[in-house]
Structure 1
Amino acid sequence: MNHFSDQSNPSMPRRSFFTSAASLTAGTALGAGLLDAQGRSLMAQDPATPPVLAKPESGPIESPFERDYEPPAFKPSWKKPQVNRLLAQDFIIYAHSDLEMTKKLLEREPGLIQSSIDWGAGDWETALGGASHMGRHDIVEFLLSRGARIDLFCAAMQGQTEAIRSFLALQPALIDAKGPHGFSLHFHAQVGGEKSKETLDYLQSVKQVELRPVPFLNKKPASDK
């Protein structure tokens, strides 16, 4: 038997191993974006020139980076797999408004609780951060009960006036600190509603800012309707 030919269908022309390998290579290149839709190579002819890759339709793009300094002496072992990025993204999005899906995904992957994502240009956000700036006390309290790390913005939304007072005594410049998407402490206290009214009054006494209406402030969670 010739192991270098296709015998699965006698009526089909015999294909050499090398022809099949070439087809596989072409198919792999197409899947990797190295060929255009007509099968033409996007690879540069000059080996010294990097290949031209097809631009992805959508999704995050990591900024280019090369060290221009000595690398740290500590070398991560990377013994454990990282939490899947898409799963972390979905978890953080759901934590803005959907308690049941937040619970479901966290049950599936407990490691999501501290996950964060950069929405671009260093706009980092956690599930707790998303729930906090949306005024979702129910989701915030669930996440805190599962070990989420409370921060200044969550404390403002939860009406923890004494905690805010202590942090501002430690560092007065924190009055201008910005959370995810640039939302201020005042904004977080505002979306907290009645629970954080005292905190908002305190923040306004430290620094008066214009408070604009928040469209989603009076909307009830779907589970409460």
Structure 2
Amino acid sequence: MQQTKPDPLPAEKVKDFVSAGHNNLDKVKQLLTEFPTLIYATWDLGGGDFETGLEGAGHVGNKDIANYLIEKGARTNLFVLTMLGKTQIVKAYIETYPSYLYARGPHGFTLLHHANRGGEEAKELVEYLQSKGLKETRASL
């Protein structure tokens, strides 16, 4: 017997959640209470520009929201880990996959942008990324 899947999440809730992920922890918590699977949702801004609530927190440097979402099980990525200053993880990944140095996150923001947003905790990564040749903080998608 085939199980039926629930309806897709309401688009406006996904959009609200991703928007709140940038700077509104209270709203993030409220929306997750209402729709727990928003933690996995991605908003399509058009033109191949996709973003999750966690990625919103990542590119603005909101560590409180990023850490909250990760603790709740959000799927993280190298951009967010860079902003959080997770040096060992980021360096190991770049050493294993050197071309990822030039990957683009939401809105075309680079790893260097995310490291800059990470402040003191990501300072070593700023230097590392620049030593590898990354200069741009944003590139077109």
Question: The residue matched to 2:5 in structure 1 has which SS?
Answer: coil
| Structure 1, 90-99 or 202-211: larger mean CA deviation | 202-211
1:152 aligns with 2:72: no
Alignment partner, residue 98 of structure 2: 172
Deviations for 1:103-145, whole angstroms, at most 9, x for unmatched residues?
1111111010000011001101000000000100000011011
Alignment partner, residue 107 of structure 1: 33
Amino acid at match of 1:90: D
Number of residue pairs the alignment of both structures matches: 137
CA RMSD, Structure 1 to Structure 2 (Å): 1.7
Amino acid at match of 1:191: R
Amino acid at match of 1:102: V
Q: 1:124 to 1:210 in 2, by over 3 A?
A: closer
Alignment partner, residue 51 of structure 2: 125
Share of identical aligned residues, percent? 39
* Aligned-partner Cα distance in 2 for 1:168–1:79: 38
Deviations for 1:55-101, whole angstroms, at most 9, x for unmatched residues?
xxxxxxxxxxxxxxxxxxxxx97522111111011010011111111
Bigger fraction of residues in helix:
2
Alignment gaps of 5+ in structure 2 = none
* Aligned-partner Cα distance in 1 for 2:4–2:119: 43
CA contact (8 A) 2:20 2:28 kept: yes
Q: Which has the higher contact order (CA 8 A, sep 6+)?
A: 2
Task: Give the alignment partner of residue 132 of structure 2, picking from 206, 211, 217.
Answer: 206
Task: Give the alignment partner of residue 113 of structure 2, picking from 187, 190, 200.
Answer: 187
| Structure 1, 130-139 or 203-212: larger mean CA deviation | 203-212
* Aligned-partner Cα distance in 2 for 1:200–1:99: 27
* Aligned-partner Cα distance in 2 for 1:169–1:211: 20
* Aligned-partner Cα distance in 2 for 1:208–1:119: 26
* Aligned-partner Cα distance in 1 for 2:137–2:17: 30
* Runs of 4+ off more than 2 Å: 76-79
Q: How does 1:129-140 map to 2 (within 5 A)?
A: 129-140=55-66
Q: Greater CA radius of gyration, 1 or 2?
A: 1
CA contact (8 A) 1:88 1:117 kept: yes
Alignment partner, residue 12 of structure 2: 86
Q: 1:209 to 1:113 in 2, by over 3 A?
A: same
TM-score scaled to structure 2, two decimals?
Answer: 0.91
* Aligned-partner Cα distance in 2 for 1:210–1:81: 40
